[in-house]
Amino acid sequence: MKYFLLLFFFLSCGIVAQGQTGSLLENVVITSKKEKTQAHTNENGELHVNVSPNDALKFKAIGLVHYSDFGASGDGKTDDTDAIAGAHAFANQHDLRVKADEGATYYIGGKERTAVIRTDTDFGTAAFIIDDTEVKNHNASIFMVSSGLRPFKLNGISSLKRNQEKIDVSLPGSCLVTVTNSHVMHYIRFGLNQNNGSPQTDIFVVDKNGNVDLDGPIIWDFDQITDITALPLDETTLNITGGRFTTIANKAESKYTYYSRNIAIRRSNVLLDGLEHRVTGEGDHGAPYGGFINIRDCAYVTVKNTILTGHKTYRTIGSAGKPVSMGTYDISVTRVLNVSFVNCSQTNDINDRTYWGILGSNYCKNLVYDNCTFSRFDAHKGVANATIRNSTLGHMGINAIGSGVLTVENTTIHGRSLINLRSDYGSTWQGELVIRNCVFVPAGGRPTSASLISGFNSGQHDFGYTCYMPERITIENLYIDDTNHPEDYQGPAIFKNFNPQMTDDSYQEKFPYVRTREIILRNVTTASGKALRLSDNPFMFKDVKIDAD
């Protein structure tokens, strides 16, 4: 994580503040000279911000700064990056709100400059043009929502157990704890994007006495710990509202050089409300994006009333030496707890397969879609507990691996399956699936042999953990719109054929895949009139208990 630190000291010319930051955030020097209030970059790449004494008194009196106060032209042509970053730097120093100028259009060019947000910010109806055609550092965020609180190492904790309720620490307040064991590798990926996995990782919230918030429990046994860090949670909510953002897409080579020209949220307790993001200028090639809304290493974030855009899908050569489609996202969520998307949608058709799914997530707990219209929900390296309700999902549907309870209710799904358990991570869900009051339109209405739960696990690949199918699946009030189907259609299957080679007891799994124990079915109906059946591979699921009405 990158953090922004302002150090204050007095000089005869006025007040100067110097900020030492990481590679993404450059130094900032704030002065109070009897000169014009403005921001500029010097020959060393430092951002110099001067605020005249009269302006400083005025800003403090009203508790607010505008970008124009720091020299932003807002004409849509002049690069306003320094003025925007300067306004936030001064506001952070004096705990002032920031407001964009109504009717302004701010042009943000390709220079490496990140504006750090630590106070309430109202982008209002202002427009922001982010030009990615010539970018100095594609890893540098445009805005970084940052905390003034600092992470610290926890000492004396050498191991943890799954569902452990308390850790032996005394803390200054509630903290987000991140723990790693680099000697154990998880998520050893299978398929065209194969890799050697990632170190065992978990995140959870504890109170000042070390009590774990069991709504986001510890999900792994850690026999040893190579790193454990606590980050205090911000107690007040930081509000970011409005803004009409347009990205002029990069034209870089189509390979895995993810662009992070985004709003990066690295602070807990944030509300992002009423933002819009559009994309223009996509051609026949380009590098992928790592999420215009990029939320990482924090907790309790809500994104609401927001309109985003799916990115065009480009192809490259994957790690297995074969062509692959590159994941590219407008939302990315990593190592977070309790993040909700409420009343959100995207500008492009959720069933247009030329655009990639809008969300990618890793190491998350308690993700929520509520009243959202998006092309997909996706959990790569696991989610512990997820809820999708009152929503509509498009061509990429629901893709997940993880644990806990995955709840889908009052939702319409247009994916190839109702829920796809990602085969590249073992099609594992250690817990339950609950589906209530939903409509499933297989493959968006194209002719297909429908299946509700899809995935693949041969039992021959070591993913770094035991793989599970959901222990219990509950489906209540599901309508399957399988109007269009092949001539030989036998009706929708509960399970896709997860392993076509497993047809009798002679098949041996090196890494056994733990199958579902129970399915509860209530009021499942189909447009075709054909009954729900178990699978094209009934042998694999012969021991599943089905309780049907």
**pLDDT in the model for residue 320:** 86
End-to-end CA distance of the chain: 52
Helix (H) or strand (E) holding 83: helix 81-94
How far, rounded to the nearest angstrom, does the alpha carbon of residue 30 sit from its chain's CA centroid? Answer: 34
From the number of C-beta atoms within 10 Å of its C-beta (0-12, 13-18, 19+), residue 465 rates as buried
Instruction: Output Rg (C-alpha) for the chain, integer angstroms.
Output: 25
Alpha carbon distance 292, 88 (integer Å): 19
**pLDDT in the model for residue 18:** 35
**pTM (whole model) above 0.85:** yes
**pLDDT in the model for residue 16:** 38
| Closest residue by Cα to residue 249 from 188, 173, 328 | 328
- Alpha-carbon dihedral sign for residues 144, 147, 152, 154: negative
Alpha carbon distance 212, 165 (integer Å): 5
What is the CB neighbour count within 10 angstroms for residue 285? 15
Q: Nearest 5°: phi and psi at 423?
A: -75, -25
**pLDDT in the model for residue 26:** 52
Contacts of 545 (CB under 8 A, 6+ apart): 517, 518, 519
Alpha carbon distance 417, 382 (integer Å): 19
**pLDDT in the model for residue 24:** 35
Alpha carbon distance 334, 25 (integer Å): 20
Q: What residue ranges do the domains of the chain occupy?
A: 4-145, 152-232, 234-400, 404-549
- CB contact at 8 A, 340 and 294: no
pLDDT in tens, the chain (549 residues): 333 333 333 223 333 333 333 333 457 999 999 999 999 999 888 999 999 999 999 999 999 999 999 999 999 999 999 999 999 999 999 999 999 999 999 999 999 999 999 999 999 999 999 999 999 999 999 999 999 999 999 999 999 999 999 999 999 999 999 999 999 999 999 999 999 999 999 999 999 999 999 999 999 999 999 999 999 999 999 999 999 999 999 999 999 999 999 999 999 999 999 999 999 999 999 999 999 999 999 999 999 999 999 999 999 998 889 999 999 999 999 999 999 999 999 999 999 999 999 999 999 999 999 999 999 999 999 999 999 999 999 999 999 999 999 999 999 999 999 999 999 999 999 999 999 999 999 999 999 999 999 999 999 999 999 999 999 999 999 999 999 888 889 999 999 999 999 999 999 999 999 999 999 999 999 999 999 999 999 999 999 999 998
Per the structure block, which two tokens stand in for 381?
């390296």
Residue ranges of alpha helices (H) inside 168-282 are none
| Closest residue by Cα to residue 469 from 447, 495, 440, 435 | 495
**pLDDT in the model for residue 301:** 98
Per the structure block, which two tokens stand in for 462?
């070591």
- Bridge partners (DSSP) of residue 105 are 75, 127
Helix (H) or strand (E) holding 60: helix 53-62
Alpha carbon distance 379, 383 (integer Å): 6
Alpha carbon distance 228, 176 (integer Å): 10
Strand residues in 343-442 grouped as ranges (E): 345-346, 359-370, 373-378, 381-389, 392-400, 402-409, 412-413, 417-421, 429-440
Report angle CA 343, 347, 353 to the nearest 5 degrees.
110
**pLDDT in the model for residue 11:** 29
- CB contact at 8 A, 216 and 338: yes
- CB contact at 8 A, 179 and 201: yes
